Amino acid sequence: MAEEYEVVPITPIRKIESRLEKIEKGSPGYNAVMKDLAEMMKENQKTIDDLIRTNSDLIANIGNLSEHLGSLTKKFDEFMDSIEVAETSEEPEEWSNIKEQTKKLEETNQELLERLKKMERKMKLSSLSKYYYSPQGQVQKQQPPEKTY
C-alpha cells in the first residue's frame, strides 16, 4: 500500500489558530458585551425585586382597607338600626295633635272646595237662565253672551 501525501499551506491554518486563541482569551468587544449583559441582568433583577416588594405592600394595604370597610359597614348597620328604632318609637303627643289638626283642616278645605264648585254651578245656571226665561214666564229670544275663557 502506498502512502498518500498532500501538500497543505500552513498560513491559513495559522490564521485560524490565532483567531481561535483570541476567541478563547476573549476579545475586548466580547468582554464589553458580556459586562453590559451582566449589568442588564442585575438591573432587571432589581426591577423585579421592586415590583415584588410593591406588590406585597399593595396586598397588605388592600387587607387593611378591607378591615376598615368591614368596620365602616358595621357602624353603618348600627346607625341604620338606631334610625329604625327611632322610627318605631312613640311620637310625642304634640305631633299627634298636629297631625289630627292637619287632617281636620284638609277635610274642611275639601268641603269648602265642593261648596264653592256647587255655588259656581248655580251662579252659571242663574246667569244663563235669565237669557232663556223672562220674569213673567215669556221666552226671550236673546242669545247668551259669548264665553270667554
Q: What are the tens digits of pLDDT across the range 69-91?
A: 989 999 988 888 887 766 666 66
The mean per-residue pLDDT over the stretch 36-59 comes to 90
- Above 60 in pLDDT, residue 138? no
φ, ψ for residue 2, nearest 5 deg = -100, 140
Rounded Cα–Cα distance for residues 134 and 109 (Å): 38
Give the 3-state secondary structure of residue 24: helix
- Above 90 in pLDDT, residue 113? yes
Rounded Cα–Cα distance for residues 141 and 132 (Å): 7
Q: Rg of the chain over CA atoms, in angstroms?
A: 54
- Interacting residues of 144 by C-beta distance below 8 A, sequence separation 6+: 128, 131, 132
Q: Which amino acid, 85?
A: V
> pTM for this one?
0.36
C-alpha cell belonging to residue 126: 242663574
Q: What angle do CA 123, 124, 130 make, to 5 degrees?
A: 90
